[in-house]
Structures are given as C-alpha cells and as structure tokens.
Structure 1
Amino acid sequence: MATPKKAPAKAAPAAEAAAPAAKKRTPNAAFMKPLTPSAELAAVVGAAPLPRTEIISKLWAYIKEHKLQDEANKRNINADAKLKKVFGKPQVSMFEMAGLIGKHVK
C-alpha cells in the first residue's frame, strides 16, 4: 500500500518578515518640475505651471467628471471637444495618454 505524499512545506510568514526593509522611494525631480501647459491643455487643467504628476491627476479628474471613459473598455478615453485638441484623435488608451500630453507641456 502506497503512503500519501506530503505537500511541500510553505515558507513561514516570519521568514518573509525578516527580509530587509525596502528603501523608501524619493520622488524624481524631473516629475516634480513645474511645466507650462499649452493653450489646448490649459483649457482642461488650467494655465498655471504644474508638475507632470499633477497634470495627469487633473486630466483624470476631468475625464471622470465628464464621464469620458469608454463604458465597454474602461482603459479607453473618449475625447470631447477640448480633449480632442490635446489628443489629436477621438479615442485614446490610458497608456498612450501620458505620451500625448508630453507634446503639450514645456
């Protein structure tokens, strides 16, 4: 009669906790540098110079406020008249949005 095999032992949670703590990330200065938006982008996020991270945050706030996310695929953004001037096309993926924004900041 064969004996049942034992399942391999799982690592104890204490062993995982003993790993060295990860270094706290420091913000990249390039992302925090205030950038001036173009006239088309300023119509959406405002004309004041903002860091790139804040520009993206304001864009998402605008997109959610105006319900511009595609209902079938939430990763796509349907551009209204203001965003169409920024993106250059009627629909963009959220992954290409940051690249398209780069053309509208100095």
Structure 2
Amino acid sequence: MKPVTPDAALAAVVGSNPMPRTELTKKLWAYIKKNGLQDKKVKTQINADEKLLPIFNKKKSVSMFEMTKLVSGHVS
C-alpha cells in the first residue's frame, strides 16, 4: 500500500514517518490497548485521552468505525 504521512496530532500517537495505512492502524490500536482506552463495557467504543482528543474532534468517545473516518482526515 502507498504510504501516508500523519499530521502533527496523529504523529503524537503513531510517529511522524510515512507508513502504509495498515501499519498506522496497527500502531493506533497498540496505543489504545497499551493505555486501556477501549471501553470496558462497549468494546466498540474508544475513549479519548489528551493525545486522541484532537484526532477525535474533541469528542470524549467514538466508535471504532467513526475513529477510522476521523483518522483519515489526519493523513496526507
């Protein structure tokens, strides 16, 4: 896949090097799991911390499907 470049907000979570979307998604999920941001009751919800708030348009929680759409706005 063609590499994409994360913007500053997303780079704070996954790094600033260009990478394929698959790698970006893996790094994002690793961050979410490492920091316990997946909702305990509703597993499809991701709770934002201070690094994810700018990516999630300041929403405190988004679905994993909405997260994919929001992340797309932070790559070029």
The verdict on a shared fold, with TM-score over 0.5 as the criterion, is yes
TM-score by length of 2: 0.96
- Residue segments in structure 1 that go unaligned for 5+ positions in a row: 1-31
Q: Percent identity?
A: 60
Higher relative contact order (CA 8 A, sep 6+): 2
4+ residue runs over 6 A deviation: none
1:70 pairs, out of 30, 39, 59, with 39
How many aligned residue pairs are there?
75
Q: Which has the larger helix fraction?
A: 1
Q: Which has the larger radius of gyration?
A: 1
1:56 to 2:34 alignment:
no
RMSD of the TM alignment (CA)? 0.6
- Residue segments in structure 2 that go unaligned for 5+ positions in a row: none
Q: CA deviation at 1:95?
A: 1.0
TM-score by length of 1: 0.69
